[in-house]
Structure formats: structure tokens, C-alpha cells
Amino acid sequence: MIKEQGKANKKVSASPYNFDQEGSREDLAHMVIMHEYPLAMVDHVGFRRFVSGLQPNFKLVSRNTLKRDILKIYDYERQKSMAKIDNNGSRVAITTDLWTSSNKKRGFMVVTRHYINDSWILESQIMRFIYVPSPHTKEVLSTVLLECLLEWNVDRKLSTVTVDNCTTNDAMMRILLEKLEVSSLALAILDPRYKMKIMEYYYQQVYGRIRGSEEIEKIKKIFFDLLAEYGSENLDEEASCSQPPSSMEIVSHDFVQNRLRKFDSFVSNTTNKRNKKSESVVEEFDTYIKEGVLKRSEIFDILGWWNHNGLKYPTLQRLARDILAIPVTTVALESAFSTSGRLLSPHRSRLHPRTLEALMCAQSWLWSELKGSSSMPEDATIQNILEDFDDHEEEESGSMELAD
């Protein structure tokens, strides 16, 4: 503990404390990841002198040791991140795009996940930053993306996949959609400021009164089908939970008949429940629409509104939690690339793909955990410092490059 002795001379004295070498090594690796410091900084004379002055007992590690520490942090944070997705009840929206290094020799696919957690906070973090060898055909890209979704166990929790509007991505999505079922619908219905009113207004202007009404009915049909799917999912969960565990005992004819009678009863009950559930879902939607829209405001916490209205609209709330996590654009993705653009500069293009992915993903996870939000603060990186680099400093920063 440090105590100040006097304000005039500002001398301080330090009482004894237990120095933690391993903890300090981990802090150093966290610092490099979060602020994009070069791995070569551990070789810089000025930095070594600075650290020695702060704590002479700290044994500064080499670049390769620092890289191993970073990979350990990446593996640990990756397991935590995967567990969060598994334990979260909502679906996951995916954004993805391809980024090419400045020397045009390497391509990387960044895959970002978006979901609303149990506290109704939107979370967006990078899942993978994958090296994709050439050629970047639709077959290669779709295979890489599908393997990523399966690896992270989000293939069955997937709501949408958002990509940039280009021919390769369109072809990739056609292949991917053959293997994955993705539900989508108009987001405006779930905004209590608009509901069906905004479509009724614009569709009549665009299509005319008769054609506009027909298009609105089509959207309602899609919405009802999706809503019914959520209602049946809830019913299936209740039914599966009520089933007793199977037994390996030898059963008699009477026992089988008894089980079949119970099966007949189960079919009857679940059918009635499903019909009642379908009716209640329709009533729930009708109540939501008939209540009218809220006063339109630019400042509106839509996640908070659905969080507080779950008891009134339980099925709609479950649907809203998944739909509202879907990004309208790939802005979050481009934000990731603004970071990777520095990492993939000519001086850093020789970073091993695994090291590069560890830096990109771990940075996203660590900042999200620290700030409790979906994005990194603007001052999280050293962009301003990089802009002040002169040629000599840029050449020196290239010493961080680690060959494959």
C-alpha cells in the first residue's frame, strides 16, 4: 500500500506487499490485447526500463512467451463466450463479411454474433476471425461459415445471417440456406411506436389501397406463422418436460396397453392445448395491435419496453427478443474491420492467422465484459497514437511481426 508523506515534496513510501509474477504477466497480455499494443514492446529498451523502475521483481517476458499468454487468454475467454451463448435463451443473429489484408495475399472472414441477453441488453461480439485461403468462392465461404456456426452451436439458435450486398455473398447464402432454416419478418410490427400502422401508411402510398391491403395481409400471414412457431416451441418444451424417463424393464401386454391408453390421452390433451395455445397467441397479437401505437420519439428504449411488458405479451416478447437482435446493417462488422485494418497493415501482415484471430476476438470479449456493453469505447484503441507515428516508428512497430 502506498501512502503520501507530504504535499510539499510529494514523497511516498510503500509498505510491503506480495508481488504476483503470474498475475502481472496476465495483466500485460490483457493490456496488449485490449489496446492493440505491439508484441514487440516487450523488447523496447524504454519500456523495459519503465517496468524495471515500477517493479524490479517483475521478469519481463519475451515476445513468444507473450504470444503464448495471449493464446491462453483467448482459449479461456472463448470457452466463457461459448457458454454464454449456450445458456442464453434467445436466438442469435449473425453478421459476416470478408476482409483482405493490405498486401492482397490473405483473406479473413469475420463472424459477429448479436443477441439480447437475459437482462435485455443487446450484446455483439466477434465469434471468429477466420483465415480463408484463396480462392474465395461461394462454396468455400459457405463451408467456412457453416463450420463456424456448428462449432459454436448456434446453427439451431440462428435467427438471421446478414451479409454485404455482393454477388459472392448472395450465392453463398443460397447454399447456406439449403442447410439452415432462418426465420425473418418485418421488424416494424414489434416496435410499439409503429406496429402495423407504418406499413398501412406506406403500402397504400406505394401500391395503392387494394394492392397495399393485399401486401399487408401477406405480411400478417408471415408474422402469424412465425408467432405460431414460437407458441408451439413453448408447448413442445412443456410436453417434453412432462415425459417420464424411459425404463429398460420387461413389460407385459397389459403394461403396453396401459401405455397406449396414456398415449391416446396425451395426443388428445396436447391437441387441445395446441388449439388453445394458437387461439391465445392470436388474441395476444390482436390485443397488442388494438392498443394502438405509442407516441413516436427518437429516444425510445424498445428493449426496456418489451422487458417490462413480458407478462402481458409473453409470446410476442420471446419473438421480439430474437428479432430485435438482428442488425439492420453490418455497421458493427465494419467497426471490427477498422480495428483489423491496423493489424493487417503491411508491417503486420505476417502475423500467424491464429495469433491474429486471438487478438481480434479476445479484444472484443474483454472489452464487452469490462464495459458490460456490446461495443468498445472510442478510446479503447491506439488509433490516435498510430496516426501520430512517423516513418521510423512505423518501421520499428514492424518488429512485432511473427512469421508463420
Is 4 a member of any domain? no
Is 306 a member of any domain? yes
Hey, how many other C-beta atoms are within 10 angstroms of the C-beta on 397? 20
Per-residue pLDDT of the chain (404 residues; tens, 9 = 90+): 445 454 455 555 556 678 899 999 999 999 999 988 888 899 999 999 999 999 999 999 999 999 999 999 999 999 999 999 888 888 888 888 777 765 566 788 889 999 988 888 888 889 999 888 877 777 888 888 888 888 998 877 887 787 764 555 566 556 555 544 333 345 677 778 878 777 777 677 767 888 888 888 887 887 877 787 777 665 444 433 334 333 333 344 454 455 556 656 655 555 455 455 556 788 888 888 888 888 887 788 888 999 999 889 888 898 888 888 877 544 444 444 445 443 455 445 667 889 989 998 999 999 988 876 444 444 444 333 333 333 433 333 343 333 33
- For residues 349 and 235, membership in a common domain is answered with no
Residue-number span of the structural domain to which 175 is assigned: 78-183+328-389
* Cβ atoms 313, 112 nearer than 8 A: no
- For residues 229 and 279, membership in a common domain is answered with yes
Which candidate, 127, 146, 29, 132, places its Cα nearest to that of 361? 127
Provide the pLDDT for residue 255. Answer: 46
- For residues 279 and 377, membership in a common domain is answered with no
- For residues 170 and 228, membership in a common domain is answered with no
- Please give the Cα distance from 229 to 173 (Å, whole number): 23
Provide the pLDDT for residue 296. Answer: 81
- For residues 193 and 313, membership in a common domain is answered with yes
- For residues 174 and 286, membership in a common domain is answered with no
Mention every residue, 6+ apart, whose C-beta is less than 8 A from residue 129. 108, 109, 110, 111, 336, 340, 356, 357, 360, 361
DSSP lists the bridge partners of residue 389 as: none
- For residues 371 and 307, membership in a common domain is answered with no
- Please give the Cα distance from 36 to 24 (Å, whole number): 18
CATH number for the domain spanning 343: value is 3.30.420
- Please give the Cα distance from 163 to 99 (Å, whole number): 12
Provide the pLDDT for residue 302. Answer: 87
Is 5 a member of any domain? no
Grid coordinates representing 26? 496476465
Total domains in the fold of the chain: 2
Is 225 a member of any domain? yes
- For residues 342 and 227, membership in a common domain is answered with no
- For residues 308 and 343, membership in a common domain is answered with no
Is 245 a member of any domain? no
- For residues 226 and 280, membership in a common domain is answered with yes
Is 14 a member of any domain? no
Residue after which a domain boundary falls, among 290, 305, 323: 323
Residue after which a domain boundary falls, among 267, 301, 323: 323
Is 399 a member of any domain? no
Is 47 a member of any domain? no
Residue after which a domain boundary falls, among 289, 323, 357: 323
- For residues 166 and 96, membership in a common domain is answered with yes
- For residues 107 and 201, membership in a common domain is answered with no
